[in-house]
Amino acid sequence: MTIQRRRFVAALGAGAIASAAGCSSTSDSGDGGGGNGTAGNGTDDDGTEGSEAVGVAGETLTLTTTTSTYDTGLLDEIHTDFEEMYGVTVDAVAQGTGAALETARNGDSDIVMVHARGLEDEFLRNGYGVNRRDLMFNDFVIVGPESDPAGIQGMSSATDALTTIAEAQAGFVSRGDNSGTHTKELNLWEAAGTDPGGDWYQETGTGMGEALNIANQQGAYTLSDRGTFISQRSEIDLTILVQGPIEDGPEILANPYGVMAVNPGVHENANYDLAMAYIGWITSPGVQESISEYQVNGEQLFFPEAVSEDPNFQQYVPEGWSSDDSDA
C-alpha cells in the first residue's frame, strides 16, 4: 500500500516536472515543479514523462467544504504545501455541509470535506462519492451567556441540557441551514425526545460565526463546533456550558470530518486523479501532523485521525455497512 502510494505520488511529481519543463515560461508551474525535484528524479521509468506531458500541473481542484473548516483558516494554512507539491491550484468553496454535498452531486466539485456522517453516507450510497476517509475531528459544545438562565452549566448529558433549555424556554439559536452543525443539532433534539419550536427557538439560516453573533446579541444558547467558537471567542461574551468529548464531555457531541472524492463514474468531468492525490496528501502523516499543530488563539482546533496502525474499515463505507447487507 505505502509503496504503491509513494510510486503514485512520485509519478505525479514526475509529471509535474515534465509539464513544468514543457512550459517553463509560466512561472506558476515552474515553482510547482521546483518544489518537488527529488520525487521527480526518483522515478525515471514512468510513462508520465513521455513526449506528451500529461501531469496534473496547472490543473485546478475544486473542493467544497464547510464554513467551520474554512473559517478557521486551516485550509489556507495547509493548502500551500499541496499546491507547491503538485503545481496545482485548490479552489476551496465554503458552504454548509448540505450545500457542499449538493454542489458535488451536481458535478461542480471534485472532492468534498464535510462533517455530517448521515449526509455523507447518503452521498456514498447514492454513488456520488468514493474513497471516503476519516480525516480529523473536534467536537461540538453548547455555548450560552455566562448568566446561564436555564442552568445547564456542567451538565454531562447534551440531550438533558437541550431538554432543560426547552423546558425553560430560554433563547436558542439554530443554524437552520442544513449544515453539519445543524444536522447534529437536529439529531440531538431527536435524541432528547424534544421537538423544538416556539418563540425561544430561532432558525437563523446563517453560518456558524453569524449564529454565534446572534446568540451573543440575544443572550441565547447555541450549538457550535469548538473550532469556530475558539476562533471567535475573543469577539463574543458566550461561554462553553456543556463540553464535548475533547474535554471529557459526552461522546454524542463528537464532530468527525470526512473527505471523499466525487465518483468519476457518475461525473466524468470530475478531476478524480487530483482528488485522490489530495486525499492521499491530506491523510499522510506529515499533513496530519500539520493539522494537529494548527492553532488559533493558542488552542488546537482539529485532531487528526487518518493515521492509525489499526484498520478502520468503517471509514470507507456508510456507517454500519457490512458486506452481508443486501444494499451493496
Partner 1 sequence: MPLEPTAQLAPVLFEPTAQLVPALLDVSFREGYVGSIVFVSLYVSLTAVALSTLVSVPAAVAIGLAEFPGKGFVKSVVNTGMGFPSVVVGLVVLFAVSNQGPLGSLELIFTREAMIMSQFVLATPPITAISLAAVSGVDDGVRDAARVLGGTRVDVALVVLKEARYGIATAVLAGFGRAVSEVGSVLIVGGNITSADGISKTRTLTTAIQLEARQGQYETAMVLGAVLVALVLTVNAVVVRFGDRGVTA
Closer residue to partner 1 (CB): 192 or 211: 211
Helices and strands, counts by H and E, the chain = 13, 12
Query: If you search the block for the grid coordinates 489556507, which residue do you land on?
Result: 76
Q: Residue 142 in 3-state DSSP?
A: strand
Query: Is 213 among the residues that bind partner 1 (CB under 8 A)?
Result: yes
Query: Is 90 among the residues that bind partner 1 (CB under 8 A)?
Result: yes
Query: Is 71 among the residues that bind partner 1 (CB under 8 A)?
Result: yes
Closer residue to partner 1 (CB): 108 or 160: 108
Stretch that binds partner 1, among 29-37, 170-178, 207-215, 303-311 (CB under 8 A): 207-215
Pairing type for strands 129-144 and 221-225 reads antiparallel
Query: Is 236 among the residues that bind partner 1 (CB under 8 A)?
Result: yes
Rounded to whole angstroms, the Cα distance separating 72 from 193 reads: 33
Task: Report the site for partner 1 in 20-59 (rule: CB under 8 A).
Answer: none
Identify the residue among 76, 146, 167, 247 touching partner 1 (CB under 8 A): 76
Stretch that binds partner 1, among 69-77, 135-143, 169-177, 178-186 (CB under 8 A): 69-77
* In contact, 212 and 126? CB cutoff 8 Å: no
Rounded to whole angstroms, the Cα distance separating 80 from 177 reads: 30
Query: Is 156 among the residues that bind partner 1 (CB under 8 A)?
Result: no
Task: Count other Cβ atoms within 10 Å, centred on residue 160.
Answer: 14
Helix, strand, coil % over all residues of the chain, rounded to 5: 45, 20, 35
Query: Is 175 among the residues that bind partner 1 (CB under 8 A)?
Result: no
Residues near partner 1 (CB under 8 A): 62, 67, 71, 75-80, 83, 89-94, 106-108, 206-210, 212-213, 231-232, 235-236, 267, 269
